[in-house]
Every structure is written in structure tokens, then in C-alpha cells.
Amino acid sequence: MNLHSNKTLFENIIRATSEKYKINPIFIEKDYWITKALYHLSISEYCENVVFKGGTSLSKAYQIIQRFSEDIDIAILHQESFTGNQVKSLIRNVEKSLATDLEEIEYNNLTSKGSRFRKSVYQYVSVDKLNKSNRLIMEINSFANPIPFEKLPIKSFVYDFLVNENRSDYIEQYLLNPFEINVLSKNQTLLEKLVSLIRFSFDEDIVRSLSSKIRHFYDIYFLLSDKDCVSFVYSTSFFEQFQILLVHDQQTFNEPIGWREKSLVASPLISNFQSLWEQLKEQYTNELSVLAFREIPSEDDVRIKFEELLTLLK
């Protein structure tokens, strides 16, 4: 993908795409760079060793949610024969592939690099010199084996616009066609987001902690509106798979304090969700109304949907 190399054309297409879909051009441009990062991963030698996951995958691969994110969340597939150093090297090389044509910038509160986990911030040159959100956050980890997954196509809003305009010449010239990568299943993504909220509900400052994960509530709302996920949630395997992931999470992480010994029923999300939501709903509306490119579900609708899910855990 190299449309950005033709700066004038790139800027014009970003603007036209924005007008066509009534989406902020800043988001159209960010979507291009996220797609480009994933494209470079898809053509790298490491593409079969990784899985794309998280909220951005729900938007880019499944088109379930209608919000933007600057996060690219990648998980390393479990490698039985790999040493610790080999895993560390793989994570580093995956990041290099994603970061093609991007410049790394240090953020003290975001950048984190360990042997099994890397979180880095990268910057792209925006067509808008006043754009201060021209960054992507890349998170790569080997904490869990990300299964099940499936190979799905990824494309950009720019590609959709050019198809609509019958500009296959630009699509071919600038390598904008869809490509495939491994993507974590919707069901597993739902479980991961639910377990994450349960874990952070044990934080000392629970409202601050859950506020930092407020997008999970939005994502879960739409996952629970997906017929495949609904079938899974009401199946016999849902609670079993939830328990497996919950136990794994407790074995893997030791924060918040005491997390490894906590029981599910002790979570304030289970016992006191309505009161918690009263303290979280303003953050939900404020944050998601900025990130979403379509009208967001109401605070009450999100609460009701999440309460339905919680009843299955009691």
C-alpha cells in the first residue's frame, strides 16, 4: 500500500472518502494507516505466527462495531518449540513489519517492552499538519494462545470509496486491494473483553479502572447483537469457555492485587453493576460519541444488554 506516496492524490481521496461516508477525514486517514500496517504484516514471513484481535479487529475484519481505534492488538500463536529468546525476537520482528513507514515515538505512560509483551507508539505523517492524533498503538503479546481464529479479509475505507468510483486503476497502482490475515473469533473476543472487565473490577480505584476499558461495554453490546455470538452465549459451552479463560487470566496476571485468589461472585460487576454503571455511563457517552462514526447505543441499552450477559454468570 503506497497511496500516501502521492501526497496530493492521497489528500484528495481522503477528503472525498470522508465526504462520501460522512466520516471525519482524520479517521479515514487513520484507517488507511492501520490497514497499511496490517498489510505489511500479511505479506511478512511472520503472518502465520500471529492473530489480529481486539476491538479494532471487530471493526476491520468483522464490521460488527462502528467506532475507530488507534490500537493494533496482535497475539503470538503458541510455539511449543520456541525458547524465550525466540519468542522475544518474533515479537520484535512482528512489530517491525507492522511499523513499515512509521516512526516510533516514546510515551512514558504507554510504551512498554518486555520479553513476552511489547506496547509501542508509532506516528505517521498526516495530510493535515494540525492533526495531533496521527499515531498508532501497537500491542503484541504471547501471554495466551489466541484460538480459535479464522482467516478474514481486511480493507480500508479508501478502497471501498475507489470501488464505488470505479477507480480500479488506483486500486491496482497503489496496492489497495483487500488481503487476508488470521483474526481471533468473535466468540473468543467477547470472552476476552468480559474477563478483562471482571479483572479490572477488582482494582482499588474501580471507576477509574473500568473507565479505561469503557470501549469494552460498547463492543460487547454489538457482539451481543450478532446472531452467532448470541447462539454461543446461550450455548452450554459459553460458561465453560469463560471459566477456562478466567482461570488462565488469573494464572497469567497478578494485578490488581489479589486477582489470583478472587472469585467471580466477588466482582462488583456481578454484585453491584447498576450502581457502577451510574458512575461510568457519562464516560461511555463522552468517549464513544467521539470515536464512533455512527450513532452510539444509549446508556440504558448498553446497561440492559450487559445485565443480560451477567445473568448467565450468576
pLDDT for position 200: 97
Integer-rounded Cα radius of gyration of the chain: 20
User: What span, in angstroms and rounded, lies between the C-alpha atoms of 242 and 226?
Assistant: 18
pLDDT for position 123: 97
User: What span, in angstroms and rounded, lies between the C-alpha atoms of 1 and 38?
Assistant: 10
Give the residue from 157, 184, 211 where a domain finishes. 184
Looking at the DSSP bridge assignments, the partners of residue 121 are: 105, 137
Tell me: do 39 and 168 sit in the same domain: yes
Return the sign of the alpha-carbon dihedral for residues 242, 278, 274, 300.
negative
Residue 225 CB burial class (10 angstroms; 0-12, 13-18, ≥19): middle
pLDDT for position 114: 85
Q: Is residue 214 within 8 Å of 303, Cβ to Cβ?
A: no
Query: Which three three-digit cell numbers place residue 153?
Result: 479479509
Which residue's entry shows cell 446508556?
299
Tell me: do 162 and 241 sit in the same domain: no
Domain span at 143:
3-184
pLDDT for position 295: 95
Tell me: do 218 and 191 sit in the same domain: yes
pLDDT along the chain (314 residues), means of 10: 97 98 96 98 96 97 94 90 89 97 90 90 95 95 91 98 98 98 98 97 96 98 97 96 95 92 94 96 97 96 97 90
Give the residue from 159, 184, 209 where a domain finishes. 184
Tell me: do 305 and 214 sit in the same domain: yes
pLDDT for position 82: 86
**How far, in Å, are 245, 270, 272, 302 from residue 277 at the CA level?**
24, 12, 9, 10
Give the residue from 184, 212, 228 where a domain finishes. 184
Tell me: do 138 and 256 sit in the same domain: no
Query: Which three three-digit cell numbers place residue 312?
Result: 448467565
User: What span, in angstroms and rounded, lies between the C-alpha atoms of 285 and 42?
Assistant: 35
Tell me: do 128 and 254 sit in the same domain: no
User: What span, in angstroms and rounded, lies between the C-alpha atoms of 90 and 142?
Assistant: 10
Tell me: do 179 and 199 sit in the same domain: no
Residues 259, 260, 265: CA angle, nearest 5 degrees: 65
Tell me: do 86 and 127 sit in the same domain: yes
Q: How many CB atoms lie within 10 A of CB 150?
A: 13
pLDDT for position 84: 86
Q: Count Cβ neighbours within 10 Å for each residue of 75-84 and write b for 16 or more, e otherwise.
A: bbeeeeeeee
pLDDT for position 115: 83
Tell me: do 117 and 193 sit in the same domain: no
For the chain, what is the domain count?
2
Tell me: do 167 and 218 sit in the same domain: no
Tell me: do 192 and 169 sit in the same domain: no
Q: 135 Cβ partners below 8 Å, 6+ apart? A: 70, 105, 121, 122, 123, 124
User: What span, in angstroms and rounded, lies between the C-alpha atoms of 122 and 137?
Assistant: 6
pLDDT for position 247: 95
pLDDT for position 285: 98
Query: Which three three-digit cell numbers place residue 303?
Result: 446497561
Tell me: do 178 and 199 sit in the same domain: no
